[in-house]
Every structure is written in C-alpha cells, then in structure tokens.
Amino acid sequence: ANDMGNDLKKVLLTEQQIQDRLAQMAEVIDKDYAGHEILLVGVLRGAVMVMADLARKLHTPVQMDWMAVSSYGSGTKSSGVVRILKDLDTDIKDRHVLIVEDIIDSGLTLSWLEANLRTRGCASLNIATLLRKPDAAKTNITPRYVGFDIPNEFVVGYGLDYAEKYRNLPFVGLLAPHVYEKH
Ligand code: PRP
Ligand code: MN
Ligand code: MG
C-alpha cells in the first residue's frame, strides 16, 4: 500500500501482530470496565490508528474525544513543558477516562497530561499505549495497558511519524539511518 519500503530498515511489528495484540488489550479492557462507559481520549496525532482499531475491538460503550498537545523543547528533546493546542470538548468530571496513545518514549507528554486530567475530577484515569520505550521507566507513569515494549530505536508507521511522514503505514517499522542522516 506504500512505496516507502526503501526508507525502512526492517518491520518491527506486522499489521497482524498489532491487530492481535490490540484484540487482547480490548478483551482485558472490556473486563476491567464491565458495567461502565469509557471516555477514550486520543492524543493527536499519533494515536489516531490505535484509537480507531482499539475502539472497534471494544464491546464496552465508549465515547471518544481528542487532545492535541505540543511539548516545548529544543530540537528533538522534549522538555516536559506541554502546551494544549486543542483541549477536550468533554467535561470529564466523574467520567472513566482512558487515555489512548501510540507510544510512550520519554514519558514527558503523558506524565504532564495525566497530571492535568487528574485535576478535572474524573472517576478514574488510565492509560493504554501500543508502544513503550525503555526511557518511560524513568518517569512515574504506569500505563495500565501496554501493547509492546520496544527497543530505543526510531520507529515509524501506524500513526508514528518522522517529519510528518509514514503515519499511514499499517505496520511499525524501523527507519533506515539514511533517511534521518540526510537532515
Ligand atoms: C509523539 C507520540 C507521543 C509522544 C511520546 O507525539 O505520538 O504522543 O511523542 O513522546 P514522549 O513520551 O517523549 O513525550 P508527537 O509529539 O511527535 O506528536 P504527534 O503525535 O503529532 O506525532
Ligand atoms: Mn503523539
Ligand atoms: Mg510525532
């Protein structure tokens, strides 16, 4: 479906592996939230694929809302200071909120977001992320649902971008060094 094969070093997670794992996660989430309604909060833009596929595997009634945040920082290092570009349209007071993310890398985005949402009086707050990198362990975030722990390499696809490209790949791949060394 994509002519980007040459930009990738290898496929880390196939489309099938991703979908199988999301199905397992959905089963656990359905059990955990039995009898409740979930407000899924997707973090734009990377989380769109996980949100769409995970939500379709859930049997629990869900609503969906979105936040867009941007972390201040120099270059590629994020500082942990986050700015809200688009806030929720939903009042989350007394709601069971499940944040949906594509990846936790440094963990800075989510630790800020989690703290921010906690001040709004939700009934519960959990995190579901497809991917988690090793540095996430240095933060205090404890995502309840994690798809895959992956090595500290440059991953793209399935929502994840490099310079806004590759988000539409249905799998997760490792970017070939020649792509980012050009810049
Ligand atoms: C990426 C990714 C996570 C965040 C993780 O988003 O989608 O949201 O970084 O990084 P962290 O754990 O180090 O904070 P990005 O800011 O690139 O925006 P995007 O989702 O629009 O690509
Ligand atoms: Mn993101
Ligand atoms: Mg990005």
Mean pLDDT of 100-106: 97
Residue 77 pLDDT > 80: no
Residue 107 Cβ < 6 Å to ligand 1: yes
Q: What pLDDT sits at residue 131?
A: 98
Q: What is the mean pLDDT of the chain?
A: 93
Write the pLDDT tens digit of every residue in 121-168: 999 999 999 999 999 999 999 999 999 999 999 999 999 999 999 999
Mean pLDDT of 76-95: 88
Residues found in the chain: 183
Mean pLDDT of 63-89: 84
5 pLDDT tier (thresholds 50, 70, 90): low
pTM for the whole structure? 0.94
Could you tell which of 77, 83, 85, 109 is best to mutate to test the pocket of ligand 1, judged by most ligand atoms within 8 Å of the CB?
Answer: 109
Q: What pLDDT sits at residue 1?
A: 46
Could you tell which of 43, 66, 150, 152 is best to mutate to test the pocket of ligand 1, judged by most ligand atoms within 8 Å of the CB?
Answer: 43
Contacts (Cβ under 8 Å, ≥6 apart) of 115: none
- What angle (nearest 5°) sits at the alpha carbon of residue 41, between those of residues 37 and 43? 165
